[in-house]
Every structure is written in C-alpha cells, then in structure tokens.
Amino acid sequence: MYKKSLFIIFLISAGLRGVAQPNAGLTIPKGFTAVKLVDGYGKVRHIAVTPQGGIYVKLNKLYKSKGILYFKENTTTHQYVLTNSFGNYTGTGIYVKDQYLYASSDEEIFRYKLNEQGDVINTEAPEKVVTGLPSKGEHESKSIVLDNSGNLYVNIGAYSNSCQEQDREKGSMGMSPCPVLNEAGGIWRFNANGNNQTQKAGTRYATGLRNVVGLDWNTQTNSLFVMQHGRDQLHDLFPSLYNAKQSAELPSECMYELHNGTNCGWPYIYYDHLVNKKIVAPEYGGDGIKSTTDYQNPAIAFPAHLAPNGLLFYTGNKFPAKYKNGAFIAFHGSWNRAPLPQEGYYVVFVPFENGKPTGQWEVFANGFAGAIKTPKGAEHRPCGLAQDATGAIYVTDDSKGTIYKITCTGK
Amino acid sequence: MAIKGLFLFCIPLLGLAIAQPKKKVPVTQTIAYKQGKEVYKKVCLSCHMEDGGGVPRLNPPLINTTYVLGDKQQLISIVLKGMKERVAIDDEHYSNNMASHAYLSDLEVAAVLTYIRNSFGNKASVVTPAEVKQVRAIIAQSK
C-alpha cells in the first residue's frame, strides 16, 4: 500500500515535471507558447536557424567529441532530431548568412558551405576565415555576427576585469593607457569572405568594451548593437569607496550602438544607471561620484551583473506589433550580487522605435532557473537567441543544454 | 547532608573534566573556524559563493577538490600569491584570475583555510598560522 502510494506520487511528480508543465516551465506573456525542442546537450551557447528551419548550435563542451550540433524537425512526428554533429572544437559563436554557416572557437572563425536544404555540404573541410585571435583566459569567447555588406564582426573580450596592474587585486590601480585595448576589449571587423585573416588583417571597429557576448546586426538602423558585461567587484577592490550593496547594484549592464571608431570607455569609466552618468573608475582616480562626458553613451542600461549573453532584433511578423524591430536579450544570470539575491536568468524585451529604445524594458520569459537563482543552482540559464523565417524565436540554455522555441499563438 | 549532596553532584562533573582532553572539540566549534567564516564572508564569498560551489566557467568550486583538501602548502600559496594558471577541476575550466591575498594576516589565512577545509561537506585538517608564516617566508625567499 505504502509502496503503491509512493509510486503514484512519483507518477504525479513526473507528470508535473515532464508533461503537465505549461510552456516548458517558463512564464511568458499571454498569447505566447513555449516548448522544449531538445534537452540534455550540455553547454549549448549560441544558436543559428537556417531559412529552411534547421537549427545549428555551438557547444562550449564537446558532445560526443563534437562542438556543433544540427537539429531538424521530423516532418511526421514534429520532433526535433539530432541530424548531424561535427567540428572538434568548443566555442560560443555561430551564425548563418548567405548560404554559409559561420562558427567560432575561442581563437578562430570557420565557415561551412550550406546546400539548398541548409545542410552543411562538407563538415570536414571548413574554410578558416579568421585565425590566431587572442584567448588569454578571461572573456575568451568569440561571439560573431555579419552585416549585409560582407563584413564579419567578432568580439575580442578583455582578459582583465578592470585593467588593474594586478588583475582583481584589492587596491591595485589601473594601467594607463590600458595595454589590453591594443588587442582586446573591443569588436574587430573582418572580411566575411576572407581566408586565414589574422587579427592585424582586421579592423578594430569599436573599443572600450570589456566583454561582449550578445550582439546583433540591426537591419533597421543598419548598425551593430552589442551588450557589454560590466566590470565586477567594486567593493572587493575598493572597499573604502563602495559598500557591498553598491557593488551589487553597479555598474550597469549596457547596450551600445556601435559605428566605426566608437569608444565605450572601458576600463576608464563605467555607467551608473541610477544617476545616468559615466563614472570614472576607481582604478583611474574615481571616487564613485566623479563623472565624465567622454565616451559613448549606452542606448539603454540595465541593472548590474545580469550577464547579457544573447541579443536578437525581432524582424518577424508573427508577434504583436510592439515587438517588431525591438530587442530580446538573454540574461544568463548574475553571480556577484551578494549580499543581494542573484538576478537575471531571464529573457527581456526592449521596445524600439526609429532605431532607439523607447520606454521601459520588460521581462519576456522567466522561470529558466527554477527554484534557485544561483549560477550553480539554476536548472537552466538562458544564453543564445535566434529567430526563424516563420517569426518564432529560440532560446538556448548552456547549463543543461535545452533549446526552447517560443511562438505566438494568440491564445 | 548538604556537603554529601554537593559531593555527589561533583562526581559527574569530575568525570566530565577528566574525559574532556580525550573528547576532541569539533573543528566547527573552534574560534579559528568562526573567525574563518567571517573572513570567508568578507573576502572569498563574492567569487566562490556562499555554498563554496563557485561559478561554472568562471570561479572554481571549493568542494571536494584536491586543491582545497590536498597539500596545505600549495593551498596557502594560492591564497598568498593568487592563481592565474588555467587548471581543470573535474573536467571543467575556470576563467577568472584569483588575486593575491597576501594582505591577510597569518591568522586570517589560517582561519579561512581551516573554515574552507571543514565546510561545504569538506573534512580535512586545520591550517595553523605557523604553517602560513612558513609558506609566506618561502615565497619571500623565492622572489
């Protein structure tokens, strides 16, 4: 009897977890539906969907010795099936453009020719578009995006928190000028059709960006937008200037619109969304209040440490009108907001009008983390975003390797 | 009568007093452990997290790893010198540099390492200020 009731409880809980959970456990606006397409592939970072609806994802940890997975929908069962896997390198960036699949390791960018169905023709012989990019530990992932003019943009993250003489050491002052900026801490532009381009063959398109993971080309403004991961540890490093709560709430996570030559100011400044100012960093003589008008202003600023890992401008027609040309951002979720609770672990939406954010951002999809919002305790952590030709969007999770699809059903 | 009563009352106390040296005080009840917890909260928690679990891909965990439970000299050295090498722990890599914490006193380093080695499910011997002093001297010599 006891065993039997245990069994029933097990069945009920399994049912609740697996089948009965509406919208795959996510909280989303009314009229939208979310489903898990696949699950259990590990560190699934960025995602690209072909015009034919096939899904490519880049892994940061090899799955059965492969770093790129390709999923296609079975037309009979409508289940997504792992159709192909290839590439023996780990990484973050992946993008589909003009009959090519681009994918990055932390040092190189490859491309694979696609056939009419969107399948890679030869998985074993990619072209090496870019080679020898710096990867020195911190902020090593290389996110990529293409514009409509044959250019490839790649983030080269700063291998430092705030360009201190001794990285992350209490009281250590900033190097001036910051030498890291010569080869990192910015966006580099390359010829998308080039071969074996070294960093020198590219252009430093924008600088003063600590680390960008989420980036996207805005086809309405015809410009590049990026999300910066702001600096860490204001209180740990300068306890006489910042208390723990200030350190948890600062600096802002910023969205920037970039053009050739834009300087966003890292490591010399950070943005404070509570006073809407660019504040001089403590490593460079700042006191937490002193501000400057130098450097690019963010297009919009978010609370600190939320870790924006995915950016997507919505160009589809299947979502309500307010979503058109607006931005979705996947916030991976914070780790250094103690003593405040950790934040993020959700996808937000920022409405845009005429290429500028209007009004307030809102949480679009929440509940990825489950009961515990910590980096280790979270069940899922949103990372990559993509949109398909039908106007549905996709969210990846690099904790358990889940891919979510969100559609607008109007119900 | 009163004296007898007192005497009877004293016997178990006497027994306790004799047994005391044999019965070890648990590490978690020591002053060093409690001091270590305070140092941890102030200095280590922001990266290694409250539960010692670290942050996937960024900051390594302090739970059940040879770096924490193994050679004490190496562990003390990591705290004093910091760590920039990229090592795999249970097949995972961690990106963030650890800074030098040489500004902490021998007592603070010993306390926090005693705390870490006996928290989050860890169980290992205590670290003494003398051991920290020794490693600090070795580092100073090698400079």
Substitution target from B41, B49, B50, B79 for chain A, most A beta carbons within 10 A: B49
Exposure on the CB side of residue A112, measured as CA atoms within 13 A: 23
Interchain contact, A374 vs B53, CB within 8 Å? yes
Chain mean position to CA B116: 4
ipTM score of the complex?
A: 0.80
Judged against a pLDDT cut of 50, whether residue A16 lies above it is answered with no
Non-local (6+) Cβ contacts of A372 within 8 A are A378, A379
Which residues from A are below 8 Å from B95, CB to CB?
A: 137-140
The enclosing H or E element of A310 equals strand A308-313
How far apart (Å, rounded) are the C-alpha atoms in residues A271 and A84?
43
Instruction: Return mean pLDDT, chain A.
Output: 94
Q: Which of the residues A336, A340, A373, A379 would you substitute to probe the B interface, choosing the one with the greatest number of B C-beta atoms within 10 Å?
A: A336
Residue A161: list chain B partners with CB under 8 A: 96-97
How far apart, in whole angstroms, are the C-alpha atoms of residue B36 and residue B33? Answer: 5
CATH number for A60: 2.120.10.30
**Cβ contact A167–B97 (<8 Å):** yes
User: Is residue A6 one of the residues assigned to a domain?
Assistant: no
pLDDT over 60 (residue B1): no
Is A379 in CB contact (< 8 Å) with chain B?
no
Which residue on chain A is closest to B91 by alpha carbon?
Answer: A61
- Asked if A118 and A54 count as a contact pair (C-beta separation under 8 A), the reply is yes
CA nearest to A349, candidates A367, A368, A335, A330 = A330
**Does residue A205 belong to any structural domain of this protein?**
yes
Q: Where are the alpha helices (DSSP H) in A202-241?
A: 234-237
Q: What percent of chain B has pLDDT over 90?
A: 66
Structure tokens at A341: 């609770």
Q: Which residues of B touch A (CB under 8 A)?
A: 43, 45-47, 49-51, 53-59, 61, 82, 84, 86, 95-101, 103
Contact A167/B99, CB-based, under 8 Å? yes
Contact list in B for residue A375 (CB cut-off 8 A) is 49, 53, 55-56, 58
Chain A CB contacts of B61 under 8 Å are: 376
Rounded Cα distance between A307 and A253, Å, is 7
The band of B142, judged by pLDDT with boundaries at 50, 70 and 90, is confident
Tell me the chain B residues in contact with residue A166 when contact means C-beta distances shorter than 8 Å: 82, 99-100
Q: Domain for residue A7, yes or no?
A: no
Order of strands across the sheet with A186-191?
A144-146, A151-156, A186-191, A203-207, A262-263
DSSP annotation of B98 = B
So what's the pLDDT on residue B21? Answer: 54
**Residue A317's pLDDT band (cuts 50, 70, 90):** very high
Distance CA A133, CA A69 (A): 24
Query: Looking at residue A21, what is its pLDDT?
Result: 83
Q: Is residue A204 part of a domain?
A: yes
Closest CA to A292 of A279, A301, A302, A276: A279
Within an 8 Å CB–CB cutoff, is residue A335 touching chain B? yes
Is the CB of A376 less than 8 angstroms away from the CB of B54?
yes
Determine the pLDDT at residue B131. Answer: 97
Nearest beta carbon to residue B55 from set A166, A167, A375 = A375
A156-195 pLDDT per residue, tens: 999 999 999 999 999 999 999 999 999 999 999 999 999 9
Segment B57-106, tens digit of pLDDT: 899 999 989 899 999 999 999 999 999 888 888 788 898 999 999 999 99
Query: Could you tell me how far CA B142 lies from the centroid of its own chain?
Result: 25
Select from B97, B98, B100 the residue whose CB has the most chain A CBs within 10 Å, as the one to mutate to test that interface: B97
The whole-number pLDDT of residue B23 equals 67
Q: Is residue A265 part of a domain?
A: yes
- Contact assessment for residue A351 and residue A322, using Cβ atoms and an 8 Å cutoff: yes
Distance CA B40, CA B49 (A): 10
pLDDT at B25: 86
pLDDT at residue B19 above 70? no
| Edge-to-edge order in the sheet of strand A127-130 | A94-97, A100-104, A109-113, A127-130
Answer yes or no: is A17 within a domain.
Answer: no
Is A15 contained in some domain?
no
Residue A65 in any domain: the answer is yes
Determine the distance from the C-alpha atom of residue A329 to the mean position of all C-alpha atoms in its chain, rounded to a whole number: 7
CA dist A66 → A60, A210, A249, A260, A382 (Å): 10, 30, 39, 36, 21
| Among candidates B47, B53, B103 on the partner chain, residue whose Cβ is nearest the Cβ of A170 | B103
Question: What's the length of chain A?
Answer: 411
Q: Which domains does chain B have, with CATH numbers?
A: 26-142 (1.10.760.10)
Helix (H, G, I), strand (E, B) or coil at A223: strand
Residue numbers of the domain that contains A389: 29-408
Give the pairing type, strands A44-49 and A55-63.
antiparallel
Q: Which tokens belong to A62?
A: 């090899």
Beta-sheet pairing, A66-73 with A80-86: antiparallel
* Sequence-distant (≥ 6) Cβ neighbours of residue A334 within 8 angstroms: A304, A305, A306, A307, A342, A343, A344
Q: How many domains does chain A have?
A: 1
pLDDT tens digits for A355-384?
A: 999 978 999 999 999 999 999 899 999 999
Smallest Cβ–Cβ distance between A137 and the set B59, B95, B101 belongs to B95
pLDDT band at A124 (very low <50, low <70, confident <90, very high): very high
What is d(CA A139, CA A389) in angstroms, rounded to the nearest whole number? 32
Q: What is the pLDDT of residue B86?
A: 81
Of A410, A327, A393, A401, nearest to A368 by C-alpha is A401
Question: CA A383, CA A333: separation in Å to the nearest integer?
Answer: 9
On whether the CB atoms of residues B96 and B47 are closer than 8 A, the answer is yes
Residues in chain B: 143
**H-assigned helices in A242-391:** 244-249
Q: Which candidate from B55, B84, B95 shows the least CB-CB separation from A335?
A: B55
Task: Determine whether the interchain pair A375/B56 forms a contact, defined as Cβ–Cβ distance below 8 Å.
Answer: yes
